[in-house]
């Protein structure tokens, strides 16, 4: 779902100046969230808009939303502190913002590096369907991407797929294989707030589709040692994810929020010719992770 801000809310937010946030370890401080909410609930239609946002992320059949903050980004500057504090305040209405990477600030830059592995988030190739921090025992409940600049050459649309719907289309014997702790991917070090390393892990918590993470990354098909049966099962899931995908281009100021318990995400390849684009003009996203509040489940 794409959500436009009401014009009266946009006008009110442009005039708001939230104080810099505080952190409690890797998490946004509770005092900051209380302060931001107190400041913004007085803005016209703020609570109505955030209610629509939460519903889009959690209702049956939902699981992602694009909050269109482009007018705010244009007025304030997409990388300006005032704008990022407003985006953080919206995120805090969904769940608790945090950074699992001690070496990064709350928002992590994802730029374009032409010499990077093309399949990585900062590469120029196809970034296949995946769940962020798939090998943590407590992955982020939500992953979010704020578009500062799209690919100036017109490539790199975002792709999303309903993971549980894809699982439901698989035969029972394939689902059974996906419940076995036979999968592993990546390294695990210098991380906060995502539990312990989970290795090996099952892709599915249970064979019947429903709630819970679908712990999947297409990269493990090429970069992990899997038995033929388990690799084939994961490959069938990958095909179903592609079959059910939606695709759209993020515009400046668009804020994509993905419920990782429901949807997996990725990105089509950037347009050829990235080497000729100045670094300062290349695609730029800012990433922020969210943890559901205790006792609330994925819907904070």
Highest-pLDDT range among 118-127, 165-174, 205-214 = 165-174
pLDDT value, residue 293? 82
116 has a pLDDT exceeding 90: no
Give the span between the Cα atoms of 50 and 5, in whole angstroms: 10
59 has a pLDDT exceeding 70: yes
What is the mean pLDDT of the segment spanning 16-33? 95
**Closest by Cα among 177, 159, 171 to 258:** 159
pLDDT value, residue 20? 96
pTM for this entry: 0.93
What is the mean pLDDT of the segment spanning 5-28? 95
What is the mean pLDDT of the segment spanning 40-50? 95
Question: Which pLDDT band, with edges at 50, 70 and 90, does 80 fall under?
Answer: confident
Question: Which pLDDT band, with edges at 50, 70 and 90, does 208 fall under?
Answer: low
Averaged pLDDT of the chain? 92
What is the mean pLDDT of the segment spanning 119-137? 92
What is the mean pLDDT of the segment spanning 87-112? 94
1 has a pLDDT exceeding 90: no
Question: Which pLDDT band, with edges at 50, 70 and 90, does 209 fall under?
Answer: low
296 has a pLDDT exceeding 70: no
pLDDT above 70 covers a percentage of the chain that reads 97
Dihedral sign of CA atoms 44, 47, 52, 54 in order: positive
pLDDT digits (tens, 9 = 90+) for 218-268: 998 887 788 999 999 999 999 999 999 999 999 999 999 999 999 999 999
pLDDT digits (tens, 9 = 90+) for 97-106: 999 998 888 9
Token pair for 190: 């210098």
pLDDT value, residue 298? 46
pLDDT value, residue 295? 54
300 has a pLDDT exceeding 50: no
Q: Which fold has domain 2-163+242-291?
A: Double-stranded beta-helix (3.60.130)
- DSSP state for residue 237 in the 8-state scheme: H
pLDDT value, residue 56? 96
In angstroms, what CA-CA distances link 108 with 102, 116, 143, 170, 259? 11, 17, 12, 35, 18
Give the span between the Cα atoms of 120 and 266, in whole angstroms: 10
Element (H, E) at 72: helix 70-76
pLDDT value, residue 60? 81
Which of 100-104, 147-151, 152-156, 283-287 is least confident?
Answer: 100-104
Token pair for 2: 């794409």
**Closest by Cα among 164, 212, 213, 143 to 62:** 164
């Amino acid at each position: 779902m794409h959500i436009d801000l009401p014009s009266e809310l946009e006008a009110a937010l442009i005039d708001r100046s939230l104080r810099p946030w505080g952190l409690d370890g890797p998490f946004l401080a509770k005092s900051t969230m209380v302060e931001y909410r107190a400041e913004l609930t007085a803005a016209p239609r703020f609570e109505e808009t955030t209610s629509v946002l939460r519903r889009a992320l959690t209702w049956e059949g939902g699981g992602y939303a694009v909050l269109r903050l482009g007018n705010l980004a244009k007025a304030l500057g997409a990388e300006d502190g005032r704008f990022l504090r407003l985006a953080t305040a919206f995120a805090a209405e969904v769940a608790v913002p945090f950074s699992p990477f001690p070496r990064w600030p709350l928002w992590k830059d994802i730029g374009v590096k032409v010499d990077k592995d093309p399949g990585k988030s900062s590469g120029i190739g196809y970034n296949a369907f995946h769940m962020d921090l798939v090998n943590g025992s407590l992955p982020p409940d939500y992953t979010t991407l704020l578009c500062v600049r799209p690919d100036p050459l017109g490539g790199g649309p975002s792709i999303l797929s309903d993971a549980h719907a894809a699982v439901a289309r698989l035969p029972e014997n394939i689902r059974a294989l996906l419940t076995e702790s036979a999968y592993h991917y990546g390294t695990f070090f210098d991380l906060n707030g995502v539990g312990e390393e989970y290795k090996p892990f099952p892709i599915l918590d249970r064979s019947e589709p429903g709630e819970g993470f679908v712990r999947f990354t297409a990269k493990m098909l090429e970069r992990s040692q899997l038995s033929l049966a388990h690799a084939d099962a994961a490959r069938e899931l990958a095909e179903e994810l592609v079959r059910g995908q939606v695709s759209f281009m993020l515009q400046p100021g668009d804020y994509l929020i993905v419920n990782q318990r429901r949807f997996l995400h990725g990105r089509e390849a950037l347009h050829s010719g990235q080497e000729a684009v100045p670094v300062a003009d290349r695609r730029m996203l800012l990433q922020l992770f969210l943890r559901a509040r205790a006792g609330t489940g994925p819907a904070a």
